[in-house]
Structure 1
Amino acid sequence: MAHQEYKRGTKLIHAGVEPDPTTGAIMTPIYQTSTYVQAAPGDHKGYEYARTQNPTRTALQNALAAIENGKHALCFGSGMAATDAIIRLLVPGDEVIVSNDLYGGTYRIFTKVFAVYGIKFHFIPMDNAANIEQYINDNTKLIWVETPTNPLLNVIDIEAVSNIAKKHGVKTVVDNTFASPYLQNPLDWGADIVMHSATKYLGGHSDVVHGCVIVKDDETEERLRFIQNSCGAVPGPHDCWLILRGIKTLHVRMDRHCENGEKVARFLKTHPKVEKVYWVGFEDHPNHDIAKKQMRGFGGMISFVLKDDNMEAAVNVLKSTKLFALAESLGGVESLIGHPASMTHGSIPREERIKNGLADSLIRLSVGIEDADDLIEDLRQAIG
C-alpha cells in the first residue's frame, strides 16, 4: 500500500501488511520454519535460511519502516541487540557522543562491552544542543540521543542535534522507545537512525522481547543487514507476529497512555508529600516547547521524588501499590512502578547517577491504560 496517502491510525493498521498470497489470510501467518526448499541451487524465491530472512519478519520490517517514515527496517532479538548492531558500524578509535541521562543497559553495553574494543563514549548533557559541538572531533562518528530520556524525561531537540551532526559529517541515532512512532518520528527531524526496544510500546502487552532499527539510506541499511545476518541476533517469527499485532493498536493505546499520564502527573504534582514530578507535558518542564514541536503528545512515562527523600520512604511506596506492579520494563497496557537506581539503571555507578540527577529515591511510573481514577487512588493510598 502507498502508506503516505493515509493518516497515522490507518497506517498503523495497514502498513506493510498484505493478505497471505496462498490462503488470503488477513493476518500475516507465523512462518515457523528454519529453512526453505529450493527448486534448484540458488532458486529460493527470496528465502533460503531463516536467520537471513523470514516472511513474518519481512512483513514487520515493512510495517516498521512505514510507521517511522523510513525506507528500511531491521528487526533484532531485543532492544539491546539493536543497539549492539548500530555500534558495530564503528571501528576501534571511533568516538560517540551520548546523552548523559539514558537507559542503564545502554550505558552498560557502551562502557563494559564496546569501550574494551577502543570505542570512546562521551556522556554529556544535551538539553542545550549547542553544547554538543565542543565534543565533536575528527574521530566522532555518532551522536546517540534518547528523548524523552530514561528516567528523568529530559527532552532533546532532534532537529538541532541532527543539524550539528550533519555539519560535521556525523550520524545521529535516536532511541525513540519512550515516545513510540505514534508520538514522534525522529527521521522527520533529520535523524539518520532510529532504534526501539519494541518490547515496550510497540509490543504493548509485556509478552515479547524485541528490538528494531529504522533508516532511510540504502548504504546504512546494507551494512546493518550484513551485521544482522552475520551476527544472528534475530527474533523468531512468533515474536515478530506479536509486534505486528501490537502495532495495530498502538494509536488507541498511546492516546490512553497520554490521557492517563496527564491525569496521574497532575495528581502527583499537587500531592503534599511529593517534592518533584518529571513529566514532559508540564509547561515548566525543561524544553517543554521542544517537546511540543517534535512530539504529538506527552506519553505515559512519569518519574517523581518524595519530599521525604530517602530510600525507606520510596521503598514503602514501591511495596504498597496494588495496581501499579513493581517490575522492570514499561509500555505495556498494565501500569508499572519501578526504582531506577536499583533496577533499570543499577549498572550505572551511583556517583554518575547522582551527578546526572537520578536520585536514589526516584520512582518511575509507566502509566497503563486502566481507568485513571483507579490508578490515582492506588497512588494516593500508597503514598499516604
Structure 2
Amino acid sequence: MAVSSCSFPPRVFNAYSSFECRSDPDFSGTPTGEKPRIGSNRRIGDSYDSKTSFLSSDGSITVHAGERLGRGIVTDAITTPVVNTSAYFFKKTQELIDFKEKRHTSFEYGRYGNPTTVVAEEKISALEGAESTLIMASGMSASTVMLMALVPAGGHIVTTTDCYRKTRIFIETILPKMGISATVIDPADVDGLESALNKNKVSLFFTESPTNPFLRCVDIEKVSKLCHSKGTLVCIDGTFATPLNQKALALGADLVLHSATKFIGGHNDVLAGCISGSEKLVTEIRSWHHILGGTLNPNAAYLIIRGMKTLHLRVQQQNSTALRMAEVLEAHSRVDGDLETTSKFVDALKIPYIAPSFGGCESIVDQPAIMSYWDLSQAERSKYGILDNLIRFSFGVEDFEDLKADILQALETIA
C-alpha cells in the first residue's frame, strides 16, 4: 500500500492516505499495466479518444493528454494558451445557426465553455478513463451541482459518516429544502447500504474513498454492483486517492469527483473541482452548471493544466514519503495527548504549514478539532470521530529525511 499523506493522533500514529490499487509504490503506469476502462469494453485510446492512443501510461497522459493533438486553439505553442474572454463572436448569422445546430464547432459564452478549460477537462478525462469531464470553480461546486442535477425533488440518497464537513452541511441543511432525504452509513457497512437500497428508492450513493479525514477505503467494485442492481447511481469523491492511485470508473462507479485544488493542481495556488463519467451523466450536470455558475476562470484552468504535468512525479514522491513515515511512526513509542499536547506538537514542527488543505508541494498539518470543528463542543466533535489528538499531516515533496527529523524533534517536545 502506498500513501501520500497521513492522519494520526500522537498516541496511536495511524498513517494511511491516498492509497494505491497495486503492490508497488514506485509506479509509472496504470494498475496491472492496462489502460483504464469505462465499464467492461472501453479504454483510453479506444474510439472516443483516439488522440491519446499512443500514450501508454498515466505519466505520459498527465503531460500530453488534451494538448499534443487536436487542440482547438490555432497556435504552435508547446504550452496551452490562456484564452481570456467572456464571449465569442460569429462572423455571420449563418455561422451562429450552424453552431446552434452543431455543424460549426466553437464557443458562445464564457460560462458555457472556454478553449483553455476544455484542455484541462480532456486531460482529466484521459487520466480517469472517462467519456467526459466538467471542471468547475471548486470541489464544493462539483459536489453540490452533481447532487442537484442527479437527485430529483423528494428523492433519497445514501452517504457515509466520514465526509468533508461542508458537504455534510449541504446534505443535512440544503437538500431537505428540496425534499431530498439521506441515509448515513459507516463507509464499511455494506449491509447498511443494502438495507437502505431495499427500504428506499435511492437515486444516488455518494461517498469519499479514501474518506476525509480518516482515509478509510470503500469497496467501490462491491458497492457499485450492489447499487446498480437497484438502479442507483454511484459517485465517488476520489480527492485523497488521485486518479493515479485509484480508478473509480474502472472499478464500476458512474462518476468520480475531485477537489482539483488538492493533488491535481498540486501547488496550493488554485481552487477548482471536477467531475468525470459518461457523456450522458456529465451533460446532465453541465446543464445545471450552466445555470448555477461556479465557472472556472481560464487562468485557473491553465494552473490545473500546468500542475497536472507533474502529478505523477509529485504523487509518487508523496506516496513514498508517507509510507516510509508511517513505518517510522509505527515503531515509535506511543504518546498520550490531549488537545493542548497535540497543539504543542503541531507548533513545534518547522517544515509544514498549519493550513486547511492538502496535496500540494508544501507539507501541511492541522488539527481537525480546531481547524474544521472548533465551533462544536468536544462531545459534538466526538460524534463524528474527531478526537482532540487527531492530526492530519499531508506530506509535500520535501526530502524525506528532513521531514522525518522534523517530526521526531517535535515529538521530543511532548515526550
Q: Same fold (TM over 0.5)?
A: yes
Match for 1:226 among 264, 267, 287? 287
Label 1:227 to 1:349 Cα distance change in 2 as closer, same or farther (>3 A): farther
Alignment correspondent of 1:88: 148
Partners of 1:119 and 1:348 lie apart in 2 by 25
Deviations 1:146-202 (A, max 9, x none): 111111111110001101110110000100000100111100000001100000000
Whether 2:118 is the aligned partner of 1:58: answer: yes
Aligned pairs, number? 350
Contact 2:259 2:273 in 1 (8 A): yes
Whether 2:82 is the aligned partner of 1:13: answer: no
Match for 1:176 among 229, 235, 238? 238
Alignment correspondent of 1:207: 269
Deviations 1:286-342 (A, max 9, x none): xxxxxxxxxxxxxxxxxxxxx22x111111112111101110110001100011122
Partners of 2:380 and 2:121 lie apart in 1 by 36
Alignment correspondent of 1:280: none
Match for 1:336 among 354, 364, 381? 364
Match for 1:32 among 80, 84, 87? 84
Contact 1:105 1:345 in 2 (8 A): no
Partners of 1:125 and 1:353 lie apart in 2 by 16
- 1:4 Cα deviation after fit: 4.5
Larger relative contact order (CA 8 Å, sep ≥ 6): 2
Partners of 2:394 and 2:384 lie apart in 1 by 21
- 1:30 Cα deviation after fit: 0.4
Alignment of 1:119-138 (within 5 A): 119-136=180-197, 137-138=199-200
- 1:376 Cα deviation after fit: 1.1
Partners of 1:348 and 1:106 lie apart in 2 by 17
Alignment correspondent of 1:291: none
For structure 1, the 5+ residue unaligned runs are: 275-306
- 1:349 Cα deviation after fit: 7.4
Whether 2:408 is the aligned partner of 1:380: answer: yes
Partners of 1:93 and 1:373 lie apart in 2 by 54
Partners of 2:60 and 2:375 lie apart in 1 by 40
Alignment of 1:1-384 (within 5 A): 2-5=51-54, 6-18=56-68, 21-41=73-93, 42=96, 45-89=105-149, 90-136=151-197, 137-216=199-278, 218-274=279-335, 307-308=336-337, 310-345=338-373, 351=379, 353-384=381-412
Quote the RMSD (CA, aligned, Å). Answer: 1.8
- 1:356 Cα deviation after fit: 4.2
**Mean Cα deviation higher: 110-119 or 199-208:** 110-119
Contact 1:103 1:344 in 2 (8 A): no
Match of 2:291, as an amino acid?
S
Partners of 1:75 and 1:346 lie apart in 2 by 31
**Mean Cα deviation higher: 144-153 or 252-261:** 144-153
- 1:350 Cα deviation after fit: 5.3
Partners of 2:315 and 2:227 lie apart in 1 by 30
Partners of 2:376 and 2:250 lie apart in 1 by 32
**TM-score (normalised: structure 1):** 0.87
SS at match of 2:206: strand
